Amino acid sequence: MQVPAQFQYEKATSVAQALSLLGKYGPESRVVAGGHSLIPMMKLRLAQPQTLIDINEVEELTTISVDGNMLYIGAMVRHAGLLSSALVGEHFPIFHDAEKVIADPIVRNRGTVGGSLCQADPSEDLSAAFAAVRAEAVIEYGEGRRTVPIREFFTGPYETVVGDGELLRGVQVPIRSSASAYQKVERRAGDWAVAAAGAELRLDGETVAEAGIGLTAVGAENFHAPEAEDFLVGGPATADRFARAGQIAAEHCEPVADQRGPVDYKRHLAATLTARALGAALARWHGRHQEA
């Protein structure tokens, strides 16, 4: 039987209290929300925090809202809440695409956006989706807040820029005239990705004015493909260009062979799924502008 090491438990009901507890217990404390990643790691004793700080009752972290030109998603928003939000779907359907293929209803009902990002698993879906749309992490600490681009948020596998005594408060995404989509291949429904790609497009006529590409499970640095994005901008939005962008994205990945597949297969998927995500985003762009 797998049993976690002994730990102390505290419950916070506000961000201020959570930060106070993090300061009190220091770097050996960990925040717990949904717990779907942390608790299994504790059972295996891969993580042995001395104190767990439960933030499930911090209501101020559960909001989804629009403020000016920013969509704001609180760190404690559950996966199911992100999936069901009409506001999110209106501006960024990529998140609905991604949430539909994340785990199962049990996990989606308890797991949180912030927990997924802070876990920084190399195969995490939302990390690629947020990278594609150039989101920003809002991090709170005792003296104030700081904002970090999601593309600079991850410092390595299971590591982020959130420091001791800090808390991810939420994620904000600049709202612009764009279309987005997410594509994933998994071994079975609800599994971690073998490979997945997210894309965001903004066109000027039939020319790509802006492109965002997020990748997961294929060793893309910081979950995105800047070389492929640069290739697309200024060119026509065509299937041939999307296919070439996929090849460029795959060439700059560093996938690792594992039980989900060999390196060549994962590179092939990175290329194919990038092209598919771009094509799906383009179809949404045309659909939205035809309706307008």
Q: What is the CATH number of the domain that holds 25?
A: 3.30.43.10
Same domain flag for 63 and 170: yes
Residues with Cβ within 8 Å of 149's Cβ and at least 6 positions away in sequence, in order, are: 134, 135, 136, 137
Question: How much is the pLDDT for 1?
Answer: 60
Enumerate the β-bridge partners of residue 179: 201
Residue 104 token pair: 């199962």
Residue 21 token pair: 């507890």
Residue 260 token pair: 């989900």
Is the residue at 96 inside a domain?
yes
For residues 146-170, one letter each, b for 16 or more C-beta atoms within 10 angstroms of the residue's C-beta and e for the rest, the string is eeeebbebbeeeeebebeebbbbbb
Q: Give residue-wise pLDDT tens across range 113-142.
A: 999 999 999 999 999 999 999 999 999 998
Amino acid letter, 217: A
Same domain flag for 273 and 230: yes
* Residue after which a domain boundary falls, among 174, 204, 226: 174
Min mean pLDDT across 46-55, 75-84, 241-250, 268-277 is at: 46-55
Min mean pLDDT across 1-10, 89-98, 277-286 is at: 1-10
Structural domain that includes position 235: 179-291
Same domain flag for 268 and 191: yes
Same domain flag for 234 and 258: yes
- Relative orientation angle of helices 125-132 and 93-100, to the nearest 10 degrees: 170
User: Is the model's pLDDT at 38 over the cut of 90?
Assistant: no
Same domain flag for 192 and 165: no
Q: Collapsing DSSP states into helix, strand and coil, what is residue 68?
A: coil
DSSP 9-62: EEE-SSHHHHHHHHHHHGGGEEEESS-TTHHHHHHTTS---SEEEE-TT-GGGS
Is the residue at 95 inside a domain?
yes
Q: Give residue-wise pLDDT tens across range 185-243.
A: 999 888 899 999 999 999 999 999 999 999 999 999 999 999 999 999 999 999 999 99
Same domain flag for 132 and 198: no
Same domain flag for 215 and 152: no
Sheet with strand 167-174: strands edge to edge = 64-67, 70-74, 167-174, 136-141, 144-149
User: Is the model's pLDDT at 290 over the cut of 80?
Assistant: no
Query: For residue 50, how far is the Cα from the chain centroid?
Result: 28
Is the residue at 1 inside a domain?
no
Is the residue at 210 inside a domain?
yes
Q: What is the DSSP letter of 258?
A: B
Same domain flag for 118 and 41: no
Same domain flag for 71 and 128: yes
Average pLDDT, the chain: 95
Domain count, the chain: 3
Question: How much is the pLDDT for 217?
Answer: 97
Question: How much is the pLDDT for 291?
Answer: 61
Q: Give residue-wise pLDDT tens across range 4-28.
A: 889 999 999 999 999 999 999 999 9
Same domain flag for 165 and 65: yes
Same domain flag for 49 and 20: yes
* Residue after which a domain boundary falls, among 174, 198, 215: 174
Question: How much is the pLDDT for 92?
Answer: 98
Same domain flag for 122 and 206: no
Is the residue at 3 inside a domain?
no
Q: What is the CATH number of the domain that holds 261?
A: 3.30.390.50
